[in-house]
Amino acid sequence: MTLIRPLRIQHTLSNPVSVSGFGYWSGLDVRIEFRPAAIDAGITFVRADLPDQPRIPACVGNRIDLPLRTALASGTASVEMVEHIMAALASEEVDNCEVWVDRAEMPGMDGSSQAFVDALRSVSRVNQARSRARLVVTEPIRVGDETSWIEATPSHHGEYYVEYQLDYTNCPAIGRQCFGIETGRDTFANQLANARTFLLEQEAQWLRDQGLGQKVTYQDLLVFGAEGPINNTLRYEDECVRHKTLDVIGDLALAGYDLDARIVACRSGHRLNAEMVRCLLHQAKLEDDLRKSA
């Protein structure tokens, strides 16, 4: 069961701020601009490069399945690789924002959320005169199977805690890792924001064979060979699991609420993370309907 309760005031940005880079998959240059938005507007991606500048609200109902990344679509317009941007916006408590983009694929940057956090912090947040609602988990919810799953349980003291259990026993250079954190602006910025995307060498080669990732180098993200990252060095010994934790935060931001919960994910990916969001929202709606009918 989940409940919806007010927690804090909403925020937007004082001024627009931009980030430029290129898409990992397409190799195309892309520029994004974070713009202020009105109360209760939420996060909306705007495809400035398409006729009529179609808008794509960042909600789980607009999620579509693509391999290895989170993508959203509305009508014929889509955006992809949004999870690192969503994690930055959620952790910086920027609730209402238009993300104007000139490509479908978001810039990969260094494979982390750091560039987006830096951009958001380069301008001021503006308080907005309405509360931001939160989803409060009151009983356990679990999706997945025995090998990969994600679970939400009640928090101890009203916190939002996220833990990830990583198992790459097929790659001893990564192995098994576990990381958990009580989320917040500073904890995310200091411990998660710069954790980078990673791939196994054979996965990277398969993508190149498909004509994807042609512009990406070993310095643009972590590619693991048998001995560890190829032509790169780790920022943390457990950087891989930290990045997976970042991904969970970005995916769960598609709920459109702050969370009051303890989230534990084991070998979960973008699809399962989105399924958890749907379950949380479904339970919250049921509880709200019950209250209204009482």
Instruction: Supply the residues annotated as catalytic.
Output: 270
Q: What angle do CA 70, 76, 82 make, to 5 degrees?
A: 20
Q: Identify residue 235 by its one-letter amino acid code.
A: R
Q: Is 244 helix (H, G, I), strand (E, B) or coil?
A: helix
H-type helices in 192-269, by residue range? 201-209, 239-252
What DSSP string runs through 105-157?
BPP-TTSSSHHHHHHHHTS-EEEEEEEEEEEEE-S-EEEE-SSSEEEEE--SS
- How many residues belong to the chain? 294
Give the C-alpha separation, 188 to 171, whole Å: 27
